[in-house]
C-alpha cells in the first residue's frame, strides 16, 4: 500500500463519493476509480458499497479507514520530527488526555514555550485513558495526561500538582441541589450519567469504583460518556445526573447547572506520562525538560 493511495482512500471515505474526492484531490474520476480498484485487489477485500448517490464503507473499509488514518498521522508526525532535528525552535508536540482542570499546568508550560519558541506547535487530543494509551503505544502521541489510578508500568511519568474533585452535576431545580454534598444513598435509583473511562476500570483497583462500596454495577446508569460537555447537555435536558469532575462545566450563577461534591470526599490526581526509552524530537524534549524543571522528577 502506498501512502498516496491511502490518502485517496481516506478522501473518498470522507467525501462519500468518488466525484467529490476526485475534485478535492485534483484528479480525474477515472484515475481515482482505478486507484481504488487496485487497492481493493491488493487487499483482496471490497472496501466500498457503491450506491446511486453515495459510497458507503464496508466493514473491511471501516477497518482500513481507522488504520489508514493512523498510518498517515504517523508519517506526518515522523516527517515533522525530521524537519525539526536540526532546529530546536520548531516542531510539533502531541499531547492526549481527558478533560481536567489540571490542564492549566500544561497550559502554563505551553505558554512559556510559545513565548520562547513561537514556531513550536502543540496538538491537543481529547480522549479517555484507553484512547490515550493506545495512541501513546503506537507513537501517535508524545505525552498523555491520565487520571489516577492508572497502570504506569510501561511509562515514565510526572505527577502533576493538585487534585480533581468528584461530584454530581445536576440542574439547579433538582431536589438534590438543596444538599451541600451528595452521599451514596442519594444516588440510589436516580438516572445517572457515568464516565466510560471510570467504568472501563471496574476490573482493577480503582478508588472511584471503591467509593460506591460494591454498588457501582447496580446503579441506574442510563448514559455513559467520554466528554463531560456532552454529559452536561444531557443533564440540562433532564436526562439524569452526571457523576464527573469539578470545574469542567459552567456552574456559575447564570448557568442552569450546579455541582455538588461527593461525601466522603473523592479526589483523583493526574500523571503526565510518556513511553519508557522514548526518543523525543527536539521540541518534545524541550517540553519534557520544562515539565521536569517545573514539577520535578
Burial of residue 149 (CB within 10 Å: 0-12, 13-18, 19+) is middle
CA 214 to chain centre: 28
Quick one: cell of 28?
A: 480525474
d(CA 243, CA 181): 13
Of the pLDDT bands very low, low, confident and very high (cuts 50, 70, 90), residue 195 is confident
Whether the predicted pLDDT of 89 surpasses 80: no
pLDDT in tens, 155-184: 999 999 888 999 999 999 999 999 999 999
Averaged pLDDT, 229-235: 94
Cell 513565548 belongs to which residue? 115
Contacts of 85 (CB under 8 A, 6+ apart): 281, 282
Whether the predicted pLDDT of 194 surpasses 80: yes
Of the pLDDT bands very low, low, confident and very high (cuts 50, 70, 90), residue 187 is very high
For β-strands 164-171 and 267-268, DSSP reports them as: antiparallel
CA 9 to chain centre: 25
Whether the predicted pLDDT of 85 surpasses 80: no
Q: Which of 67, 92, 66 is nearest to 78 (CA)?
A: 92
Contacts of 189 (CB under 8 A, 6+ apart): 220
d(CA 71, CA 226): 24
pLDDT at 203: 44
Whether the predicted pLDDT of 221 surpasses 90: yes
pLDDT at 27: 87
d(CA 251, CA 101): 14
pLDDT at 198: 67
Contacts of 139 (CB under 8 A, 6+ apart): 74, 77, 275
Whether the predicted pLDDT of 297 surpasses 70: no
pLDDT at 53: 74
d(CA 252, CA 260): 13
Contact 154, 92 (CB under 8 A): no
d(CA 207, CA 75): 39
pLDDT in tens, 17-72: 888 888 888 888 899 889 989 999 999 999 988 877 788 899 999 999 999 999 99
Is the pTM here over 0.85, yes or no? no
Q: Quick one: what percent of the chain has pLDDT higher than 90?
A: 55
pLDDT at 84: 64
Of the pLDDT bands very low, low, confident and very high (cuts 50, 70, 90), residue 265 is very high
Cell 526509552 belongs to which residue? 277
pLDDT at 76: 84
d(CA 235, CA 257): 8
Amino acid at each position: 500500500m502506498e501512502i498516496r493511495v491511502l490518502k485517496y482512500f481516506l478522501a473518498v471515505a470522507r467525501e462519500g463519493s468518488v466525484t467529490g474526492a476526485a475534485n478535492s484531490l485534483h484528479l480525474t474520476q477515472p484515475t481515482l476509480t482505478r486507484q481504488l480498484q487496485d487497492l481493493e485487489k491488493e487487499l483482496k477485500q471490497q472496501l466500498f458499497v457503491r450506491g446511486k448517490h453515495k459510497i458507503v464503507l464496508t466493514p473491511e473499509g471501516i477497518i482500513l479507514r481507522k488504520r489508514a488514518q493512523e498510518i498517515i498521522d504517523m508519517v506526518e508526525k515522523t516527517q515533522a520530527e525530521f524537519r525539526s532535528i536540526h532546529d530546536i525552535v520548531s516542531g510539533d508536540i502531541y499531547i492526549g488526555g481527558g478533560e481536567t482542570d489540571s490542564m492549566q499546568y500544561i497550559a502554563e508550560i505551553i505558554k512559556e514555550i510559545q513565548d520562547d519558541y513561537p514556531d513550536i506547535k502543540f496538538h491537543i487530543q481529547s480522549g479517555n485513558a484507553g484512547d490515550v494509551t493506545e495512541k501513546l503505544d503506537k507513537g501517535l502521541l508524545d505525552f498523555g495526561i491520565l487520571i489516577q489510578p492508572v497502570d504506569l508500568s510501561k511509562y515514565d511519568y510526572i505527577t502533576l500538582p493538585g487534585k480533581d474533585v468528584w461530584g454530581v452535576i445536576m440542574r439547579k431545580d433538582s431536589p438534590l441541589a438543596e444538599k451541600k454534598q451528595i452521599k451514596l444513598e442519594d444516588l440510589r435509583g436516580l438516572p445517572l450519567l457515568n464516565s466510560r473511562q471510570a467504568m472501563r476500570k471496574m476490573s482493577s483497583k480503582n478508588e472511584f469504583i471503591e467509593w460506591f462500596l460494591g454498588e457501582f454495577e447496580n446503579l441506574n446508569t442510563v448514559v455513559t460518556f467520554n466528554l463531560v460537555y456532552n454529559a452536561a447537555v444531557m443533564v440540562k435536558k433532564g436526562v439524569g445526573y452526571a457523576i464527573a469532575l469539578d470545574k469542567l462545566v459552567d456552574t456559575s450563577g447564570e448557568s442552569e447547572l450546579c455541582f455538588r461534591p461527593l461525601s466522603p470526599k473523592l479526589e483523583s490526581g493526574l500523571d503526565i506520562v510518556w513511553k519508557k526509552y522514548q526518543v523525543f524530537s527536539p521540541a518534545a524534549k524541550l517540553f519534557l525538560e520544562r515539565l521536569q524543571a517545573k514539577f520535578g522528577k
